[in-house]
Each structure stands twice: as structure tokens, then as C-alpha cells.
Amino acid sequence: MLNIVLFGPPGAGKGTQSERIVNKYKLVHLSTGDIFRYNIKQETDLGKLAKSYIDKGELVPDQVTIDMLNAEVEKQVNPNGFIFDGFPRTTTQADALDKHMISKGSSITMMLSLHVPEEELIKRLLLRGKESGRSDDTDENIIRNRIRVYNEQTAVAANYYEMQNKYHQIDGIGTIEDIFERLCQIIDKHSTIL
């Protein structure tokens, strides 16, 4: 299995690039943000809980997020692999993901981290907010809080993969196609099962 963690701050382009990677490598795309938003739309208990955190730009508690993600992994029958988009966002989540994949006789192949400067992120998110109407993308204070949470709680999760020699940083500035090319080069170089 080819299991990729696509990492980076909000607005780095994880969703956009995930779509392309999924098509090329035939992986299952699991975006915790998308799953939370689906639950909010369906007004499930999980959705109501998640909304109270998402609206402030805070992280949904680890155990809730981990249980949800593990359940989504279990739904897939014989997948080629996964792309995890927006997960893990803490070291606790990274550790739980490793354990879950190991219990399935698999492992995380690599973390690809998109690097984009902060002011560019804010510009992109405000633009996305205008187009998508995502409430956490329209308020600059919430956006800044999400980036602060990323810097304080999430960025450290990269160390977890660095220690396993699975971490790769990619310049996230350029055209969507250029960035996709950079990602593919690393995937092709570091994965054996394609």
C-alpha cells in the first residue's frame, strides 16, 4: 500500500493536490475537515461537536478525530492506499495513525509537507472563503487563529515523520501543475509499490 500524509498549514493546497494525487495513484482520499463538514451538514452529534471547535479555528479533540478516522479507514475494502489530508494534526494523532496502520499490516509511506509563507496563506484562504462560503475561511481572525494553532500544535507532528526518515518538504508556491509535478517526483522516488 502507498499511504501518504499530505501536510501543511491551512491554505497550503492540500485539498487541491490530494485530488490530483488520488486520481494518478488510485488512492482513497480521507480529509478529516471534509468528513467533519459532511457531519455538520447532516447535523449528526459528531457534526455538532466538531462545529463548536471549527467555528473558533480550534482543533477537534484528538480522541474524537482519531476514532472517526479509524472508522473511515476500516470502511475501505482492499484499498491501494490512502492519502491523509488534514490528519494527523497532533503528535498524538500521528502515533494513533501509525498504530492503526501497523494493526492492518501496513504503514505510512511518507509525509509530504507543502510549504507556503503565512501572508500568502491568508490571501488564499480569504479568496477561498469568497468562493466557497466556508465560514472559517471568511473571518480573518479565525484564519489567523487556525494558522497559530497549526504553528503551535500541528507543525511539531512533522518531527514524528522526520525521525522515521519519511518527511519531505515541498515548495507550495507556483502553479497547481508545477506543485503537482514536484509532489509526483518525490512519490515516484520514494515509493516502491506503484
Enumerate binding residues for ligand AMP (CB under 6 A): 10, 32-33, 36, 53-54, 57-60, 65, 86-87, 89, 93, 136, 146
- Strand pairing class (2-7; 81-85): parallel
| Residue 65 Cβ vs ligand AMP, minimum distance, rounded to whole Å | 4
DSSP-derived secondary structure letter, 86: S
Task: Using the minimum distance from each CB to ligand AMP, give the nearer residue, 38 or 181.
Answer: 38
Query: 1 vs 69, which CB is nearer to ligand AMP?
Result: 69
Q: How far is CA 25 from CA 58, 60, 193, in A?
A: 32, 30, 10
Q: Which residue is nearest to ligand AMP (CB)?
A: 33
Measured from the CB atom, the residue of 65 and 109 that comes closer to ligand AMP is: 65
CB of 87 to ligand AMP, least distance (A): 4
Of 155 and 190, nearer to ligand AMP (C-beta) is 155
- Shortest reach from residue 112's CB to ligand AMP, in Å: 15
Minimum separation from the CB atom of position 10 to ligand AMP (A): 5
Q: How far is the CB of 173 from ligand AMP (least distance, A)?
A: 19
Please, which residue, 65 or 113, has the CB nearer to ligand AMP?
65
How far is it, in rounded angstroms, from Cα 190 to Cα 129?
35
Core vs surface per residue 170-184: b (16+ CB within 10 A) or e: bebeeeeeebbebbe
Amino acid at 168: H
